[in-house]
Amino acid sequence: MKIVRTTAEIRVLVADARRKNLSVGLVPTMGALHDGHLSHVRRAREENGLVVVSIFVNPLQFGPSEDLDAYPRDEAGDTRLLAGEGADLVFAPATEEVHPHDRATTVTVGGLSEVLEGARRPGHFDGVCTVVAKLLNIVAPDRVYFGQKDAQQVAVLGRMVQDLGFPVEMVVGPIVRESNGLAMSSRNAYLSSEERKRATALFKALQAGSPFAAAGDFAGASNEMLRVLRSATGVEPDYATAVDADSFGPPEPGGRILLVVAARVGPARLIDNLLVEVENT
């Protein structure tokens, strides 16, 4: 496994692989890797001849009052884990290599980017889209791997890939959870063991809301999720609602229904979601 810092070098190494007819899979991450990230690396390993994992804490997707400086970083630990999964290249560039100081271009996906996470974190999805567009152009993978953990990010990036015609297949992997149901997240590192227990309220809320949503009672689902979150000690709910999984607007007849929650637990703002199995009537 090789650690690569520059765009020029990654392009050369990917071109070498292409000459050998290897397909290329890219797993974009911000590092502080856990089993959720590694699930995508494993799948990429199964499906591609060359596996590239990017580790880049993207400043563009953090708001001015967010946790950019505190965000967990552990490149040595990450590279050990990635070597264990058989990744080929770790692309870990400096900020300036990806975003030159005179960058004048931003990628924006309208509508979808402005609700829920987008409304609470202005500019967040612009930052995500701009960096992912750049990574796709640098690495030019056949497949790019994302997690359903960040469901709205998946929907936004899906639109970007479709609207701008990126020649890549987006592969979305399921949410990996701790045994107590807590969705794995690099930000869980901010939590004490007591707060980690409290944070299981997010998944419990989703599970409690699911039967309501499955029966078409979306207001009931939202109320039930908020009830569960409010009744948990040390959990401050932000939102809990049912949306159409693709548009992130109101649930649509025949569409996939997604329950989404966000809450603050101690120092961390956490998100989680659950696709609803609709009852056949």
Q: Which residues are catalytic?
A: 37
Report how many residues bind ligand AMP under the rule CB under 6 A.
17
Nearer to ligand AMP, 14 or 155 (CB): 155
- Interface region with ligand AMP, contact rule CB under 6 A, candidates 87-95, 168-176, 211-219, 269-277: 168-176
Query: What distance lies between CA 184 and its chain's CA centroid?
Result: 11
In angstroms, give the least distance from the CB of 102 to ligand AMP.
26
What are the structure tokens assigned to 169, written together? 């297949």
Task: Map residue 270 onto helix, strand or coil.
Answer: strand
The CA-atom distances, in angstroms, between 93 and each of 36, 54, 75, 249 are 22, 8, 12, 36
Q: Does 175 bind ligand AMP (CB under 6 A)?
A: yes
* Residue 150 binds ligand AMP, judged by CB under 6 A: yes
* Nearest to ligand AMP of 131, 212 (CB atom): 131
* CA dihedral of residues 104, 168, 270, 272 (deg, nearest 10): 150
Closer residue to ligand AMP (CB): 204 or 224: 204
Query: In this structure, are residues 149 and 42 in contact, taking their beta carbons and an 8 Å threshold?
Result: no
DSSP for residue 175: P
Taking the complex as a whole, the smallest distance from the CB of residue 183 to ligand AMP amounts, in Å, to 5
Nearer to ligand AMP, 15 or 189 (CB): 189
**Under rule CB under 6 A, residue 184 binds ligand AMP:** yes
Structural element, H or E, at residue 90: strand 89-91
Q: CB of 214: closest distance to ligand AMP in angstroms?
A: 23
Angle at 110 between CA 101 and CA 26, to 5 degrees: 60
Which of 186, 200, 210, 222 forms a contact with ligand AMP (CB under 6 A)? 186
Stretch that binds ligand AMP, among 12-20, 98-106, 146-154, 226-234 (CB under 6 A): 146-154
For residue 104, count CB atoms less than 10 angstroms from its CB and return exposed for 0-12, middle for 13-18, buried for 19 or more.
Answer: exposed
Residues that bind ligand AMP (CB under 6 A): 29-30, 36-37, 39-40, 146-147, 149-150, 173, 175-176, 183-186
